[in-house]
Copies of this chain bind each other. A is one copy, B any other.
C-alpha cells in the first residue's frame, strides 16, 4: 500500500491523514479570527463577548480562595457535584426543571456537541439542520461525513418545523435534529412558541432526539421569553449550555442536560477525549455562582448588550440603504442583514476591511456544506464593540455598501 499524499497549502506531504481529513480546511471563523483581530479594525465578525464585562476581579479573588482551600482543586477528580447543583439553579432561570443526575459538565458547549455527535452519529448517518447554522456544529459533524437534510428558516418564526415533519413522515430517521432555539447563530431569530411545541412533539413521536444549542439563550432583551425546548420534554431534548457567553470563554466550561442513562456513555467518550473536566476552573465557576454575584452580573451584562443591540438597530436604520432588510434580535449577539440583490457579500467583505477597516461575516460562511445554499445576508456582531464603535462601524460599512450599489 503506497502512502496517499495529502496537500496542505499546496505542499505535498508523505504523512498520511485519515481519508475524511484529507480535504479539511480552516473554518471561516478561524480565518476571520486572524483578519478581524488586526489592530484598528472595527470588528462585527466574531461572536466574542465583551472582555470589559468579564468578572476578572471576582475571579482573581476566588482563584486565591479555591487554591488555598483544597489541594484537590488542582488534582484529577470526578465531576464537581456542587457545580451540577448550581447548573440546575441556573436552568430555573430558563424555565427548566432538571436534576443533578441529568447534568453533564463539559469543556464548553462545543465539546458537548462534539461528544453527542460522536455518541449518536454513525459514519454517513443522517442529521436534520437548518440551512445556515453555527459553524462549530458543522465541524463536529464533519468526521462522520453525514447526510445533512436541511430545512428553511423563517426570519420571524425560525426553523421550518413543517419541513422537519415531512422529512420524518417520508421515512428519514436522523440521529438527531439540531435546534438553535434562541438567539440563533447566525440567523438571530428566536423559535416561535407554537413551533417549539410542534418540534418537541415530532421528536417524541418519531423518537428522534433534538440537540438544543442554547449558547445564547441566557442573553435575552425581551420581556416575554419562551423557555427552551428542554422545558417541554426531558427525554428527547438534549440541552447544551455554555458559560462562555455569560461568564468567560477562556474558562472552557459548559454543561448538558440529558437523560440520566446518557451520562455514563458521555463520561466514557469524554474520558477518551480529555480524561476529565478542568477541576480548577470548575471550582472557580462554582465558587463564583455560590457567592451569589451571578444574577447581578447577568443583569448587568444583558443591560449593556441591550444598549449595544439598540445602538446597532438605530445605526442600521440611520445609515443602511432602504433596500437592506433585517430584524432586531430578541436574544443573542447578532444581526442578520440581507443586502440588496446586486451586492456580493464576499466582495463587500474585502472592500470593507481594506477601505474602511470594518469586518463582518458573509452569511454564506454559515451555509451547510454541500447543501449549495446561497444567501445575500451578512452576520453582524454587536456584543464585542462599544456603542461608539458600533455607530462608527455601521456608518463606515453603510458608506461602502452605498458605493457598491452605485457601481
Q: Interface of A with B (CB < 8 Å)?
A: 1, 3, 8-9, 11, 13-19, 21, 24-27, 29-30, 33-34, 46, 48-49, 51-52, 54, 56-57, 59-61, 63-64, 67-68, 71-78, 107-108, 110-111, 114, 118-123, 125, 136, 139-140, 142-143, 173, 175, 207, 209, 244, 248-252, 259, 261-262, 264-265, 267-269, 271-281
Residues of B within 8 Å of A262, CB to CB, are 15
Q: Are the C-beta atoms of B281 and A3 separated by less than 8 Å?
A: no
Please name the residue on chain B nearest to A20 by beta carbon.
B122
Nearest CB on B from A236, distance (A)? 8
Q: Say which residue of B61, B121, B268, B278 sits within 8 Å of A251 (CB atoms).
A: B278
| Oligomer: number of copies | 2
Q: Are the C-beta atoms of A75 and B250 separated by less than 8 Å?
A: yes
Quick one: given A56-B68, A67-B59, A110-B273, are A118 and B143 in contact (CB under 8 Å)? yes
Please name the residue on chain B nearest to A118 by beta carbon.
B143
Between A and B, 29 residue pairs with Cβ closer than 8 Å are A8-B265, A9-B261, A17-B265, A18-B120, A18-B121, A18-B122, A21-B269, A24-B269, A25-B268, A27-B268, A27-B271, A30-B268, A48-B75, A57-B67, A57-B68, A63-B63, A64-B64, A75-B248, A77-B250, A108-B275, A110-B271, A110-B272, A111-B274, A136-B275, A140-B272, A250-B280, A252-B274, A252-B278, A278-B281
Question: How far, in angstroms, from A34 to B27 measured CA to CA in the complex?
Answer: 40
Q: Say which residue of B9, B60, B67 sits within 8 Å of A68 (CB atoms).
A: B60
Residues of B within 8 Å of A15, CB to CB, are 209, 259, 261-262
Question: How far, in angstroms, from A120 to B22 measured CA to CA in the complex?
Answer: 10
Closest 6 CB pairs of A and B: A74-B248, A139-B272, A51-B71, A250-B279, A63-B63, A60-B67
Q: Say which residue of B75, B114, B123 sits within 8 Å of A249 (CB atoms).
A: B75
Q: Say which residue of B34, B123, B261, B274 sits within 8 Å of A110 (CB atoms).
A: B274
Please name the residue on chain B nearest to A143 by beta carbon.
B118
Nearest CB on B from A363, distance (A)? 20
